Structure 1
Amino acid sequence: MTSTKIQFLVQMTCESCVNTVKKSLENVDGVNNVEVDLAQNSVVVDTSLPTLEIQKKLESTGRLVAIKGYQGSIAAVSILEAGKEDVKGVVRFVQATPDTCIIDGTIDGLKPGKHNIEIHECGDLSKGCLSVGKVFNPAQYSGERLYGHLGSIVAERNGRAEFRREDKVLRLADVIGRSFVVSLTENEGSTAPISCGIIARSAGLFQNPKTICACDGTTIWDEVAKPNSKSSL
């Protein structure tokens, strides 16, 4: 499985903090390397695990954690903000290599069971998920599947689906500005979209120095501490 580097901002004040953070990721299958910079509050993890899994381990130390960037030629994020109000989630994309796009997400509020995940043609949420167009399938593409059909995910009994997959077809540059869509699978009686969000470019590794909002002076720690914060800087 392809690994990628993820940079986290972790609230640390001393070498003891550094040691605690490193220990939280010691001997974890799927974690290849951890680099900690106390001066920058930066933790870079080389891993094949889902982002949320690493974030939870870092948060288990009792410190505030935010995601800063990903290694890859292009990175993007889709925040599910249209469709059913109780379905919320964040899906991240990284073009880890020219032939591999990593898709990493957490979605809550789903009906337990299988759901399709797809890229649709338009980044237009003016009518919610009804204005995102069809599944994206460029004319020059001739593969066996629809280009934008990414397969299915499974929501557990609590309504949460966590996933990380490697896609050998998708090229992230082709889908920036389009929409990520979650829909019910055919065996559940419908393929209608239930939640969607625009795919927007995000920061790559070491490309995001922001720790404070210039407009109101809010620090990243203030933002992360908010209930249900989706802050990824």
Structure 2
Amino acid sequence: MKRKFLVVFMLSCCMANPAVLYAQEQSVQHLKSEKNVTSLSDGSLHFETEDSLRKKKPRVAVGTNLLSWIGFRPDLSYTTYGGNVYAEYYWGKRYSLKGTFAYCEHSYKGGNRFQGFTSYVLEPRFWLKKDEVYKGFFVGVYGQIGDFNDRIPEANHTGHFHSEGVSAGYLQPVWKGLAVELNVRAGYRHSDVKKYVLNEKGDRCLCRKFKRDEFVLTGFCLNLLYRF
């Protein structure tokens, strides 16, 4: 009786083992096909929880344009440094909104030249990759307003401007939330310009007023940013 029981038990185990292995294999294949499950090098499976996915997906970024701090204008002419800072908000799966503030009021070239400006830019963006990580290529549109005051030996000009156009760029994550970005903007720019001279007291004396309309490069940025 015991021998018969042992034979039946062994046959049952032999028949059950392939079934168990097949069920495990099907379960692993199903898990691998599920979103957010990856295989590690040791053969184990890694599950990305909602918390880990939330950490990968940025919500807000703060950054600055390094080229402006060095002293380059949007057309890459070299003058003097300009301060700037921006913030960007991410939403949906491939949209973001960037707002930039820039300011400068400095003499350069031994005091013979002066550059002053204030600039506000609003830039909605569309990211080409639909992965909610917001990296790689993007395109967008922008609107900009500001004022300027340039004093050079040839002429002195001050006034207000506004600009509208398109933008494009590429973002590359570096380490954790740190990233670098190349961003270019171009479009229509309208300026209300006042040409003036300075009298002996240093007061401005208006020479003439005129308007300037042009299609130009309005932004060339090498941005350093951190995303949260």
TM-score, length-scaled by structure 1? 0.29
Larger fraction in strand: 2
Relative CO higher for 1 or 2, CA cutoff 8 Å, sep ≥ 6? 1
Structure with the greater alpha carbon radius of gyration: 2
TM-score, length-scaled by structure 2? 0.29
Larger fraction in helix: 2
